[in-house]
Amino acid sequence: MSERFACRVTGQHRATQRREPVAQTPADPDAALRAWLRAYAKAHPRWGFRRAYHDARGEGWIVNHKKVQRLWREEGLRVPRPRHRKRLGTSTVAPPVADAPNRVWAVDFQFDATTDGRPVKIVSIVDEHTRECLGGLVARSITSDDLIDELDRIAGGRGYPAALRSDNGPELACQAMREWAGERVGLAFIPPVSHGATAMSSRSTAGSATSA
């Protein structure tokens, strides 16, 4: 009796007759390949799964790239991402002293999220001497042009400050901001380790949010 006829009579699919019994199936049929991938990743930490796939085929493994990618991911084998050095702004004035109103404005960016999980940017602009919140922006995206427009709006009613203190965010340490400041406003960038330098601006932002 042929396999085809027997399966048709019993109502079974022919593939069920070719599958190995569970008792004869190893707990992890890919254990050897997993071990090979771990050793490969250790020997070549900068290479990804695509090179691993081609080298595995070259060593005789019968496997497709999708399986290698899946096992690579399951084993947590990741190529470390290059760490880009953050661009630092160039200060045009010495660290300013806020010894009078409108002498130094502090600009501080913060990040939050709405209830749906979408990110929100918050920028606050504070007079360091009076601790007055002069203005700010809240939006999904805030560019350097948006910030410049807000600074010009504030300056329209009280004049420009002698100096603008900020961190090294991309919206601030950019060519557009340098061109805006020119010789009119000094730029004082805070070193990355000086987290407390914009604390006044952060407190003002929190106070404004509470008041709202």
- Same domain membership, residue 117 and residue 66: no
- Same domain membership, residue 164 and residue 70: no
- Same domain membership, residue 121 and residue 48: no
Residue 45, domain member (yes or no) = yes
Residue 138, domain member (yes or no) = yes
Number of domains in the chain: 2
Three-state DSSP at 103 gives: coil
- Same domain membership, residue 119 and residue 27: no
Average pLDDT over residues 91-116: 91
- Same domain membership, residue 108 and residue 25: no
pLDDT in tens, 69-80: 999 988 888 776
**46 pLDDT higher than 60:** yes
Q: pTM of the predicted model, to two decimals?
A: 0.53
Residue 94, domain member (yes or no) = no
Residue 47, domain member (yes or no) = yes
The whole domain housing 181 covers: 104-211
Q: What is the pLDDT of residue 212?
A: 42
C-alpha distances in Å from residue 188, one per residue of 90, 144, 146, 178:
8, 16, 20, 11
Residue 87, domain member (yes or no) = no
CA dihedral 173, 174, 176, 180 (to 10 degrees): 30
Distance of alpha carbon 13 from alpha carbon 6, whole angstroms: 10
Residue 99, domain member (yes or no) = no
**58 pLDDT higher than 50:** yes
- Same domain membership, residue 173 and residue 114: yes
- Same domain membership, residue 109 and residue 198: yes
pLDDT in tens, 136-187: 999 988 999 999 999 999 999 999 999 999 998 888 888 899 999 998 999 9
Of 163, 171, 165, 172, nearest to 202 by C-alpha is 165
Distance of alpha carbon 61 from alpha carbon 28, whole angstroms: 16
- Same domain membership, residue 193 and residue 108: yes
Q: What is the pLDDT of residue 77?
A: 85
Q: What is the pLDDT of residue 208?
A: 47
CATH number of the domain within which 199 lies: 3.30.420.10
Q: What is the pLDDT of residue 199?
A: 45
